[in-house]
Amino acid sequence: MFKMSAFFVCAKNVVILLLLICNGLARTEGNNEIMDKHAGVVSMDVTVFTSGVAETVSERFLSVTLDTGLLLNNWIHLNLSSSKVLSLAKHLNPVYLRIGGTLQDFLYFEEMPAKLNYSHRKHADLKPFNITSKILDDLFVFASKVGWDVMFGMNMLDRNPVSWEPWDALKILSYISKKGYPLAGLELGNEPDVYNLILTKRPDPEILGKDFQHLRDLMQMIPFLNSSLLVGPDVTNMCLLNKAYIDFFTRYLDAAHTALDAVTIHQYYLNGAIAKLEQFYDPSVMDILEIELLSAHKILRTHAPGKKIWLGETSAAWNSGAANLSNSFVAGFLWLDKLGLAARYNVQVVLRQDFYGGSYGLIDYNTLDPNPDYWLSVLYKILVGTKVLDVVVMGSKRHTRVYAHCTNRKRTDYPPGSVTVYALNVFSSKDANLTFSQFDKHLVDVYQLQPVGPMGLRSKTVALNGEPLKLDTDYRLPKFIPKRQMTPITIPKLTFGFYVFPMAKASACL
């Protein structure tokens, strides 16, 4: 699928990290790692602050996307009525389903306005196209069956010389309203900070921001949209060294923020066309997200005060992901760390690009079987609650990355006060031994994930506590059975997992 983000995501992340390290902003290694350089096990003590909640995220924190290109191509291989697909989708609930991407700015409903020939576009393969009422029916019927809440991306490049033209968008909304389909929210435009790569001239950000105000005014006049969200602007470049993009973002927010329910940014670490295996578990790559979130929060405090951040489209690698990497076990390191960092930095929703499509889909492009990140996402949904807890790690915290939440009691039978820790060991040669002084000699339920078979980190098969995960013949998920043990916890090299403390009695989780 065509993915313009290949051109926009920060290309100078290494330079940024070096500058931040010089200024004391990037994470640094603890002495324990240096002292234990040649040992087979690195030990560290973890403290979870259980007396108060650090942040609270949405119940739909882990959400998914489908690219607008699927609508152009009649869903490609994605069978929306498949029992397998329906089963896999239901187990991710609750989620937002974002329909968006580069091609949303070329989408029209039924009849394309003849006056808009897009002669000002730079790429000949980006052409306006129509979707039919059947495509919308397919989408909303599927969403209803699996319980997903649709966020629909509107075409912002449907414009007169001055501003956005709402008439085609109103035709879409009128049809959705007539059919009684629930609509969780709207977006307007995809990655407008890089419209200069699509168009011969990018509209000024103040004008685009006013278009959001126009859409909000329309939403307030349409009763069925009274409770729908409006999120944006889906900018894609949070690179701290690129003043032009930051300036665009701030001017856009100044004009649009009062119309928005949340501020969306897009985030990728790597170019899928050239990404390497070791980058998927490299701490310096993982740290990029923390830097970008710090930048985004700083901007919002001044230019969109009180608004929450969403990762409106995100994965490890753009360009439809990295073949044989984004759909293998190794992808889980960047995905799980992203979920941990995003929650800790009060990102309300993380929209995974994508549920289906390319190499980064949660389900396989051809077979529709679950990819490794699907199993990781389902376990996250089951075990991790919305209340985020602070964690301090004494030792090699860049290579052993630890996060904690109150346990999700809506999908488990764990008692009040339970705590779920999830952790990644990205050492390539050392196991990590985690002690929890506050939970000394406590029982802990271990959900350890490891790759299966000779492909190692490139494996598409994942084992939970040594048992390969797979669907049964009726496409039902297996039972996720933990291994109960006493603390401490040992995490094998280059693996990750979830660890539930059922008797933590955390006051923040009662």
* Residues with a known catalytic role: 191, 313
Q: How many residues does the chain have?
A: 510
Sequence-distant (≥ 6) Cβ neighbours of residue 89 within 8 angstroms: 142, 146, 148, 355
Q: How is residue 220 written in tokens?
A: 């307030």
Mind giving me the DSSP string for 68-80? THHHHTTTTT--T
Report yes or no: 423 and 401 within 8 Å, Cβ to Cβ.
yes
Q: How is residue 72 written in tokens?
A: 């152009």
Q: How is residue 413 written in tokens?
A: 């039978």
Please give the C-alpha separations between residue 427 and each of 42, 392, 424, in angstroms, as whole numbers: 9, 19, 9
**What's the first-to-final CA gap in the chain, in angstroms?**
46
| Strand, helix or coil for residue 229 | strand
Give the containing element (helix H, strand E) for 284: helix 283-303
Q: How is residue 275 written in tokens?
A: 């990404």
Compute the Cα dihedral for 367, 184, 238, 55 and give only its sign. Answer: negative
Report yes or no: 492 and 486 within 8 Å, Cβ to Cβ.
no
Mind giving me the DSSP string for 109-162? ESS--TT---TTBS-TT---EEE-HHHHHHHHHHHHHHT-EEEEEE-S--B-SS
